[in-house]
């Protein structure tokens, strides 16, 4: 009979991904008395994944972070890594963290799993937004980051532009394969297709 070690060696993930999946850092445990200064929730169970992030803030820096997800191994490992990365960061730095920064620190993710890594940073931004809201202040960083085109998979306009610009994506099918765009509710497809055509025109890609 196969043991646990055999099971894990069959994986295509890096050792860092496995480590964060098996020992996720900063998980939000029910028994823990954690009262966040800011709370964010994104995704939906209808789309197959959901993420909650809570933060405490001191001197405009993230003091503590907790998270909870109904996601796959990649989502768990990515959010665990993100939580390590942003602890101690200024709110501005944390607001601008990207899925690429997280996956780089994980040593990469299988391409078809990249989209699983994007919920964490989105929930973190929602938590920072909520922190400012709770204080009755304007979030000074809002609007300084990319716009989301696919809500279910958190694919942004900047990501799409980069993929088209570098010739990695020419069709909607390729975009879906790379990012997961359109694999939830599907309502973003028409907009994404229009963007694709415009970008191909701008960057002269046939
Ligand atoms: S917005 Fe739901 S699949 Fe893109």
Distances (CA, A) of 183 to 70, 115, 154: 17, 10, 11
Locus of tokens 């860092």: 16
User: Could you give the angle at which helices 119-135 and 73-86 cross, rounded to 10 degrees?
Assistant: 50
Question: Mind listing the pLDDT tens digit for each residue in 101-121?
Answer: 888 898 887 766 666 666 788
Domain 146-206 carries which CATH code?
Answer: 1.10.10.1100
Give distance in angstroms: CA of 134 to centre of ligand 1.
29
Residues 183-195 have a mean pLDDT of 93
Choose among 57, 80, 84: nearest CA to 69. 80
What is the reported pLDDT for 7?
Answer: 53
Domain ranges of the chain: 13-145, 146-206
Ligand 1: centre distance to CA 9 (Å): 33
pLDDT tens digits, one per residue of 1-54: 555 555 555 567 888 999 999 999 999 998 899 999 999 987 766 656 788 999
Q: Quick one: 72 exposed, middle or buried, by C-beta within 10 A (0-12, 13-18, 19+)?
A: middle
In the residue annotation, 188 being an active-site residue is answered as no
Please write the tens of the pLDDT for every residue from 64-79: 999 998 878 888 999 9
DSSP state of 116: G
Q: Give nearest CA residue, ligand 1 atom 2.
A: 185
pLDDT of residue 1: 52
pLDDT for position 190: 94
**What's phi and psi for 40, nearest 5 deg?**
-135, 140
User: Can you give the pLDDT at residue 116?
Assistant: 64
Please give the Cα distance from 173 to 182 (Å, whole number): 9
Of residues 129, 135, 122, 128, the one with CA closest to residue 61: 128
Query: Which residues have C-beta within 8 Å of that of residue 137, sequence separation ≥ 6?
Result: none
Fold of 13-145: Sufe protein. Chain: A (3.90.1010)
pLDDT tens per residue, range 136-187: 999 898 767 777 899 888 888 878 888 888 889 999 999 999 999 999 999 9
């Amino acid at each position: 009979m196969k043991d646990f070690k055999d099971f894990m060696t069959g994986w295509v993930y890096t050792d860092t991904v496995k480590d964060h999946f098996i020992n996720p850092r900063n998980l939000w445990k029910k028994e823990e008395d954690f009262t966040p200064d800011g709370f964010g929730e994104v995704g939906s169970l209808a789309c197959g994944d959901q993420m909650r992030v809570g933060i405490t803030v001191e001197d405009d820096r993230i003091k503590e972070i907790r998270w909870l997800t109904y996601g796959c191994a990649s989502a768990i490992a990515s959010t665990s890594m993100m939580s390590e990365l942003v602890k101690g960061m200024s709110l501005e730095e944390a607001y601008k963290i990207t899925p690429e920064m997280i996956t780089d620190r994980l040593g990469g993710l299988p391409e078809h799993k990249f989209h699983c890594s994007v919920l964490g940073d989105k929930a973190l931004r929602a938590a920072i937004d909520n922190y400012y809201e709770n204080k009755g202040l304007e979030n000074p960083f809002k609007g300084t980051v990319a716009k989301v085109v696919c809500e279910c998979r958190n694919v942004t306009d900047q990501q799409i532009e980069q993929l088209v610009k570098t010739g990695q994506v020419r069709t909607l099918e390729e975009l879906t394969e790379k990012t997961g765009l359109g694999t939830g509710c599907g309502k973003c497809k028409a907009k994404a297709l229009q963007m694709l055509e415009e970008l191909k025109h701008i960057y002269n890609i046939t």
